Every structure is written in structure tokens, then in C-alpha cells.
Amino acid sequence: MYKAVLPAMVVAGALAPGAAHAAGGVQFASDVFVERFQPAPGGRTARILERADQLRPGDRVIFVVNWSGRKDGGFTVTNPLPRAIAFAGGADGTQEVSVDGGRTWGALETLTVRDAYGRSRLAHPEDVTHLRWRIPTQLALAGTGQMTWRGVVR
């Protein structure tokens, strides 16, 4: 069976937040990690995070977007998800999601999509197309921050 392998830098490059949404001297740096589990002493399971060189279908990945730069008034960061990645949750639930290409936003459990038969259903994590974080004034004035989310390679 053939398994597609994606260079991680292709996926990471697609995660650079839109500068138009956070203009004014804010800089971003993205990292992608693969999350693996392996047996550990005493019958435990160890969680291992490795920098992603290659991604394979089914890999659990953690995306980290660091930002730096002071900004008066706060700002918004928007990240389109690469098609090869299915959303699997945010680290702290502060993100809003879109399931329609960034036209509407909200908490995942409040959004709906149309199925193949045109019927409305609640959105699922794999329906997410974009993530958005609103960085409040107090945090924006601090000058640094981090957004983290999980995905699964399709």
C-alpha cells in the first residue's frame, strides 16, 4: 500500500498567518511537531514530540505559531488549514473556527455544514477550514505570545 509523504516544511509554510490580519510590526514563526507514543518503563506510555521532517497519513501533529511585536489595540491572527491536515483541537480553546473558507466564525459546536444531500448537520473537526485568534490589547502590548493547535494528517 502506498502512503503519501509530505515534507513538513510545505505544511509549515502554509501556516504563516495572513499579515493583513496582524499588520503593524507583528512577526510570526511556525513550527510543526509529530506526536508519537511509545512504551516506557513500568508499563507506562511516553509521549514524544519530534520536529516534523516528513508527515504521513494518520500522523498526529502539533502546530505552534509564536508571535512577537507590540501592537496597540490588539489584533487578529487568521490561519487557513492546509487541505492535508484535519483539525483536532486547540490547546486552550481560545481560537474561533470557520468551516466555510473564512466567511463565518464561531465555536465548532455552534457551526453547521451541508452534507452531500444538502441537509444541514453540526460541523465536525475535519470540516474546519480556518482558525482565528483574537489577541486582546493587554496581551498585544506584552509583545509576545503563542498559539497552538492539533491536527491529523489526512
**Between 131 and 12, where is the model more confident?**
131
Q: Give 72's pLDDT tier (boundaries 50, 70, 90).
A: confident
- When divided into structural domains, the chain yields a total of 1
Q: Is residue 89 part of a domain?
A: yes
In sequence order, what are the beta bridge partners of 144? 68
How far is Cα 53 from Cα 33, in angstroms, rounded to an integer? Answer: 9
CATH number for position 148: 2.60.40
Taking residues 97-104, what's their average pLDDT? 97
Q: Has residue 37 got a pLDDT over 80?
A: yes
Cβ atoms 50, 18 nearer than 8 A: no
Task: Give the chain's count of helices (H) and strands (E).
Answer: 2, 12
Q: Is residue 1 part of a domain?
A: no
Q: Is residue 46 part of a domain?
A: yes
Q: Cell numbers of 137, please?
A: 490589547
**Between 12 and 100, where is the model more confident?**
100
Name, in order, each residue with C-beta under 8 angstroms of 55's C-beta and a sequence gap of 6 or more: 5, 6, 7, 8, 11, 32, 34, 61, 84, 153
| DSSP secondary structure letter of residue 15 | T
Q: Is residue 132 part of a domain?
A: yes
Q: Cell numbers of 104, please?
A: 463565518
Which of 54, 55, 37, 21 lies closest to 135 in space, CA to CA? 21
Q: Is residue 134 part of a domain?
A: yes
Taking residues 12-41, what's their average pLDDT? 74
Taking CA atoms, 133 is separated from 37, 57, 61, 107, in Å, by: 29, 27, 19, 12
Q: Is residue 34 part of a domain?
A: yes
Q: Is residue 71 part of a domain?
A: yes
Q: For position 92, what pLDDT does the model report?
A: 87
**Identity of the amino acid at 24:** G
Full domain range(s) for residue 81: 6-153
Taking only the tens place, the pLDDT of each residue in 38-61 is 999 999 999 999 999 999 999 999
Q: For position 24, what pLDDT does the model report?
A: 67
Q: For position 25, what pLDDT does the model report?
A: 83
Q: For position 64, what pLDDT does the model report?
A: 95
Q: Is residue 125 part of a domain?
A: yes
Taking residues 58-87, what's their average pLDDT? 93
Q: Has residue 108 got a pLDDT over 80?
A: yes
CB atoms within 10 A of CB 108: 20
| DSSP secondary structure letter of residue 78 | E
Q: Give 91's pLDDT tier (boundaries 50, 70, 90).
A: confident
The distance from CA 7 to its chain's CA centroid, rounded to whole angstroms, is 17
